[in-house]
């Protein structure tokens, strides 16, 4: 059985070890942050980057909440590159999540796969990928 991060624990070791490109954008807006703070997926784009190799990218538009107050604090674009085994449950409208896990799985020895990603409450999205990055962050109007 998978153990999920405690949303209140904002300093888990795996996050600090991963050094996600663009994470400084979230830090500038949120201060400390956790993947568990993603509450909605408001858009997604899936593309094939190279038809010869089949390399794919998934970009998702997300809303992030403050775990203490529950208020939305920002919107961010999260990009997953080198996506494999993408699973997305059919839904309509904004996708509500209970937060995400992004696990560094390099120790499994899978070539070109570094992360396992998923929604740990509703199971609406799961995938494996080579790279995770934060592309854009927009503070939420108060």
pLDDT band at 140 (very low <50, low <70, confident <90, very high): confident
Q: What residue has token string 């509450």?
A: 39
User: How far is Cα 101 from Cα 95, in angstroms, rounded to an integer?
Assistant: 16
Mean pLDDT of the region 74-92 = 90
pLDDT band at 10 (very low <50, low <70, confident <90, very high): very low
Which residues pair with residue 36 across a beta bridge?
A: none
- pLDDT of 127 reads 96
User: How far is Cα 110 from Cα 121, in angstroms, rounded to an integer?
Assistant: 26
Task: Give 16-57 pLDDT, tens digit per residue.
Answer: 456 899 999 999 988 888 998 998 898 999 999 888 888 899
Reported residue count of the chain is 142
Lookup: tokens for 108: 């499994």
User: How far is Cα 60 from Cα 69, in angstroms, rounded to an integer?
Assistant: 24
């Amino acid at each position: 059985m998978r153990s999920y991060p405690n949303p209140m624990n904002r300093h888990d070791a795996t996050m600090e070890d991963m050094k996600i490109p663009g994470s400084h954008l979230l830090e500038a807006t949120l201060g400390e942050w956790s993947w568990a703070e993603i509450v909605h997926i408001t858009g997604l784009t899936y593309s094939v980057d190279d038809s010869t190799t089949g390399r794919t990218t998934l970009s998702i538009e997300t809303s992030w909440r403050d775990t203490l107050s529950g208020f939305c604090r920002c919107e961010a674009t999260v990009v997953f590159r080198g996506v494999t085994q993408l699973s997305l449950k059919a839904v309509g409208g904004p996708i509500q999540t209970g937060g995400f896990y992004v696990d560094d799985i390099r120790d499994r020895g899978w070539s070109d796969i570094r992360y396992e990603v998923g929604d740990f409450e509703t199971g609406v999205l799961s995938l494996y990928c080579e790279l995770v990055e934060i592309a854009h962050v927009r503070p939420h109007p108060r």
